[in-house]
């Protein structure tokens, strides 16, 4: 199964995808996490991506698409939770082409819907672990010991690109580039909209219900496809 998660920066895509992937043994691929680790390691890809991420712009499609392809090629038969990819129509087309090589397709698109003002509020309080990527929030989900990750003891810091001006740009980029994907997947009948404003546990349950819906239909469909 290939699930993609769509939503504004701050909508909770990362936190929720990570959680559900673990619970249901799906491979979680978060392009933002991979880019941040490439940047931290100073790889060739990291050096090319750094400036874009810092400014809150999209990293060029060729770079991100190649990065994603090499990740999926390693285990094409895994079940995937794609978090942060695709982010525009071109990436969605590249993803379709890629998956077709193994007769796969995007099976379900989960859209975490959140008003921009609320997203911005969350980003301003967000903190992440520089080591394991765990996500915290200074207001709603603080670390137990200031600056230290509960999970791994790594340093917990604000993401550079969560600074107000950059966060505003990222939300604008999301609205212009990524929201057209909603119609793209809606037309295919696979878009599931989930209200991301409430309690994280409720959001998580709604996402699980959407996945279960897909699993039930797949299991009930003995036709073998085309
Ligand atoms: P968020 O969704 O909260 O903005 P991410 O961690 O998903 O955070 O992404 C952080 C940054 O990484 C983006 O602002 C962008 O610069 C880059 N990035 C991540 N995924 C992609 C992608 N699919 N295409 C282009 N750039 C990407
Ligand atoms: Zn950590």
**pTM of full prediction above 0.85:** yes
User: Which among 18, 36, 122, 159 is annotated as catalytic?
Assistant: 159
The average pLDDT across 123-135 equals 93
In contact, 32 and 84? CB cutoff 8 Å: yes
- Say how far apart CA 158 and CA 147 lie, in whole Å: 10
Does residue 151 fall inside a structural domain? Answer: no
Residue at 65 is within a domain: yes
Q: Is 55 a catalytic residue?
A: no
What whole-number distance in Å separates Cα of residue 205 and Cα of residue 210?
Answer: 9
Q: What's the rounded Cα separation, in Å, for the pair 75 and 39?
A: 24
- Which-ligand-closest: CA of 18? 1
| Residue 193 maps to a domain | yes
Q: Which ligand is nearest to the CA of 48?
A: 1
Residue 135 lies inside a defined structural domain of this protein: no
Contacts of 211 (CB under 8 A, 6+ apart): 1, 3, 20, 24, 108, 110
Give the CATH number, domain containing residue 189. 3.40.50.300
- Residues 31-69: pLDDT tens digits? 999 999 999 999 999 999 999 999 999 999 999 999 999
Residue 132 placed within a domain: no
Confidence category of residue 96, pLDDT binned at 50, 70, 90: very high
**Is residue 144 assigned to a domain?**
no
Does the pLDDT value for residue 191 go beyond 90? yes
Each residue's pLDDT tens digit, 145-178: 999 999 999 999 999 999 999 999 999 999 999 9
Distance CA(122)–CA(7), nearest Å, equals 13
144 is catalytic: no
Q: Is residue 26 part of a domain?
A: yes
Cα 197 to ligand 2 centre (Å): 25
Whether the per-residue pLDDT at 12 is higher than 70: the answer is yes
Say whether 141 sits in a helix, a strand or coil: strand
Share of the chain above pLDDT 90, in %: 90
Ligand 2 centroid distance, CA of 155 (Å): 7
> Domain residues for 42?
2-120+162-221
Cβ 104 vs Cβ 72: under 8 Å: no
Banded model confidence at residue 93, pLDDT cuts 50, 70, 90: very high
Q: How far is the CA of 192 from the centre of ligand 2 (A)?
A: 31
The answer to whether 71 is a known catalytic residue is no
Residue 84 located in a structural domain:
yes
Reply yes or no on whether the pLDDT at 15 is more than 60. yes
Q: Is 170 a catalytic residue?
A: yes
DSSP 8-class letter at 26: P
Q: How many domains are contained in the chain?
A: 1
Residue 73 has pLDDT above 80, yes or no: yes
């Amino acid at each position: 199964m290939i699930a993609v998660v769509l939503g504004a920066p701050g909508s909770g895509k990362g936190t929720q995808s990570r959680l559900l992937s673990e619970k249901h043994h799906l491979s979680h691929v978060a392009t933002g996490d991979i880019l941040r680790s490439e940047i931290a390691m100073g790889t060739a890809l990291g050096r090319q991506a750094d400036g874009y991420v810092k400014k809150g712009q999209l990293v060029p499609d060729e770079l991100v698409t190649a990065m994603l392809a090499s990740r999926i090629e390693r285990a094409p038969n895994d079940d995937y939770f794609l978090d942060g990819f695709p982010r525009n129509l071109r990436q969605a087309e590249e993803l379709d082409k890629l998956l077709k090589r193994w007769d796969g397709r995007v099976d379900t698109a989960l859209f975490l819907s959140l008003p921009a003002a609320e997203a911005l509020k969350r980003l301003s309080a967000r903190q992440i672990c520089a080591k394991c990527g765990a996500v915290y929030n200074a207001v709603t989900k603080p670390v137990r010991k200031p600056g230290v990750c509960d999970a791994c003891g790594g340093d917990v810091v604000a993401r550079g690109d969560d600074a107000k001006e950059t966060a505003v740009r990222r939300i604008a980029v999301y609205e212009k580039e990524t929201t057209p994907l909603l119609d793209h997947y809606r037309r295919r009948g696979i878009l599931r909209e989930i209200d991301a404003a409430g309690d994280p546990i409720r959001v998580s349950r709604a996402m699980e219900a959407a996945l279960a819906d897909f699993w039930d239909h797949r299991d009930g469909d003995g036709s073998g496809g085309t």
